[in-house]
Structure 1
Amino acid sequence: MVTVLTAGHVNWDVTLRVDRLPQPDGEASIRSQHQSGGGSAANVAVALAGLGVRSELVGSVGDDDNGRLAKCELEDAGVCLDGLAVVEDAPTAVKYLLVDDAGEVSILGNDGANEAVRPADVDPDRVRRADHVHLTSQRPETASYIATVASEAGVPVSFDPGRRLGDRDYTETLVRADVVFATDHEAEAILESEYAARADDQLVAVTAGSDGAVLHAPDGRVSHPGFDVDPVDTSGAGDAFAAGFIATSLGLGLGPDCDTENDADDSARRRTLEFANACGALAASREGPRSVSTTADIRAFLERRN
């Protein structure tokens, strides 16, 4: 079975559905409250497991109730936690997600035990054994170390630096990455930064919510318009998109009638974006940052839409 190693944040999320996102000095009414596991690395790991990938996770949680709940959810989803550290002197990171009626999200949180993993804590053999490595927000030096080990072993690397891109120096990791995921806002910094001495074959996948996604490559760019769905919660849509993209890059998800061996082929790239956008759309149409779709779910969604 194909193995993907994800590395980065593992959170416990408290989702508050509100009638509106409050303005400064304003107030909003809470319609409902829901708790579940979160964190971009953990979300991608769970989504990949749902798509039939052997999913391994490198990250950290605290030795507390939230950490135990997060671990149980991940284990139930089929994620291998041999690389997950349990930290005694820091609590599990908790994020509070405010979700309005349009599915838009604002986030409050603390780092907690999220940044406990340092380069010396990472087993390099675990990285080398993977078929693909996906990195999310974490200590820059840890992300850089994992990316270096993977790339030197010939393991493809993808990277989603997340909202804190402007606050941290991820240059070394960006240079090592074969695929970079970013929102349309984050992409401005990535595509125009001086790190652009990147590998000639690097891809940058730029997501724009309901407006779909654009894939930038050295030999051109392709796009997919996305899918019109009634958004319920967009907090995990980007992670679901990344999982779908990674799965198809490994030859999974598209079905036996699709050939993606020539990754310079625009039609193959468009099919990859289509599948990834379908994963993101289904996630956005469900409550919580971690709704799991199977390959059959995605194919059924695409058959209905096409």
Structure 2
Amino acid sequence: MPRVICVGHVNWDVTLHVDDLPGPDGEAQVRELQAGGGGSAANVACGLVGLDVETALLGSVGGDSNGTEARHELAAAGVDTTHIQTAPDRPTAVKYIAVDDVGEVMVFGVPGANEAFDAAGVPEAALAPAEHLHLTGQAPATATRLAERAQAAGLTVSVDPGRQVEARDFEPVLARADVVFLNDREARCVTDVGGVVVRKRGHEGAEVVGDDERHTHRGFAAAAVDTTGAGDAFAAGFIAASLDGADHGEALVVANACGALASEIRGARADLSWAAVEALRSRGLE
């Protein structure tokens, strides 16, 4: 039975590796093109499975070949896809991601079936066996309803609102969360958080801030080639370590290691494992 339920976007990513990210009226040369499953919730679910945490994913895809392929990739990775919904009249969401030679990214999204997800269609049996709910990318009202149901069932809750935190009202669900993941830009938009805040600072590391605690970690040296999905790997590491009994300081170290591992590979999903985390930790801090 799953220990973690991830809820959010299930995308199909088309990644363009370019020589440089162009400015207005600019042009870049595409050196390589890759396509595969993406979406923050799906990426976190795959990362957790790699870290030996049984995980189920709740989200929605379209009734198209991209949706079928995304499901197959997730199932092959070991993610429980039983409760992924299909919206037959919508396409699966697609993200076009340009990545330059130093790993910086530019994202272009094509809206699809993600917002078709129906929280009311999630049976109580899907939540009851789990210990933790991780919410990312869903509509705020949907996320809030699921957080309420999860907490009533005794689950802890984490939220990563992502880029849309500036445009949508996530405060009701953030106020319920035990853990909130934010980067520095997102943190400036948030005023009411119920639990601890985990601030992601890329190559500068990260910190955990709560009412009575503060932990910082400066991160690991990484030869970054693609930062797509690094924040999702970071969240997977933090959640997995916490479920294993680590305190927030130790969980932050594991999270930074997972984020660094993700930045060293092309694509949104790093092949996370405890062995890889330990190998990176043995290389030391910056």
TM-score w.r.t. length of structure 1: 0.90
Which residue is equivalent to 1:188?
188
Q: 1:228 aligns with which of 221, 232, 246?
A: 221
Letter in 2 for 1:236: G
The letter of the residue matching 2:76 is: D
Match of 1:27 in 2: 27
- In structure 2, what residue type is equivalent to 1:147? A
Contact 1:127/1:146, CA 8 A, preserved across alignment? no
The question of whether the paired residues in 1 share the 8 Å contact of 2:228 and 2:267 is answered with yes
Shift in Å at residue 297 of structure 1? 1.2
Give the unaligned 5+ runs of structure 2: none
Q: Distance in 2 between matches of 1:300 and 1:230?
A: 15
- Note if 1:288 corresponds to 2:281: no
Matched, 1:213 2:194: no
Matched residue of 1:129: which SS? coil
1:274 is aligned, of 238, 253, 264, to 253
- 1:118–1:141 CA contact under 8 A, matched in 2: no
Say whether the 8 Å CA contact 2:2–2:129 is kept in structure 1: no
Partner amino acid for 1:91?
P
- Please say if residues 2 and 56 of structure 2, whose CA atoms lie closer than 8 Å, have aligned partners that are also in contact: no
Question: How far apart are the structure 2 equivalents of 1:71 and 1:47?
Answer: 16
Q: 2:196 aligns to what?
A: 203
Q: Which moved more, 1:206-215 or 1:115-124?
A: 115-124
Q: CA deviation at 1:2?
A: 5.9
Q: Which TM-score applies when normalising by structure 2?
A: 0.96
1:103-126 deviations in whole A, cap 9, x for unaligned? 001100122001111232222331
- Mapped to 1, the partners of 2:266 and 2:168 lie a distance apart of 31
Alpha-carbon deviation of 1:270? 2.2
| Distance (whole Å) between structure 2 residues aligned to residue 142 and residue 223 of structure 1 | 32
Name the structure 2 match of 1:255: none
The CA distance in 1 between the partners of 2:172 and 2:154, in whole Å, is: 17
Pairing 1:131-280 to 2, within 5 Å after superposition: 131-190=131-190, 193=191, 195-196=192-193, 198=194, 202-251=195-244, 260=246, 268-280=247-259
What is aligned with 2:276? 297
Q: Deviations over 1:136-159 (max 9, x none)?
A: 011211101110011122210000
* 1:119–1:141 contact (8 Å) kept in structure 2: no
Q: Secondary structure of 2:23's match?
A: coil
Aligned residue in 1 for 2:9: 9
Write the distance in 2 (CA, Å) between the matches of 1:218 and 1:89. 46
Equivalence for 2:47: 47
Paired with 2:129 and 2:2, the residues of 1 have a C-alpha distance of: 10
Unaligned runs of 5+ in 1: 252-258, 261-267
Aligned counterpart, 1:64: 64
Q: Measure, in 2, the Cα distance between the counterparts of 1:81 and 1:119.
A: 15
Partners of 2:156 and 2:111 in 1: how far apart?
Answer: 28
CA distance in structure 1 between the aligned counterparts of 2:162 and 2:99, rounded to whole angstroms: 18
**Rounded Cα–Cα distance in structure 2 between residues aligned with 1:32 and 1:116:** 32
CA distance in 1, matches of 2:204, 2:270: 21
> What is the alpha-carbon distance in structure 2 between the residues aligned to residue 45 and residue 273 of structure 1?
18
Q: Which amino acid aligns with 2:254?
A: F
- How far does residue 303 in structure 1 lie from its aligned partner after superposition? 1.9
1:143-187 deviation digits (Å, cap 9, x = unpaired): 011100111222100000000111111121101110000111111
Contact 1:21–1:98 (8 Å) recurs in 2: yes
Q: Is the 8 A contact 2:8 2:136 kept in 1?
A: yes
Deviations 1:258-283, CA, capped at 9 Å, x for gaps: x63xxxxxxx3222111110000000
Question: Which amino acid in 1 is paired with 2:210?
Answer: A
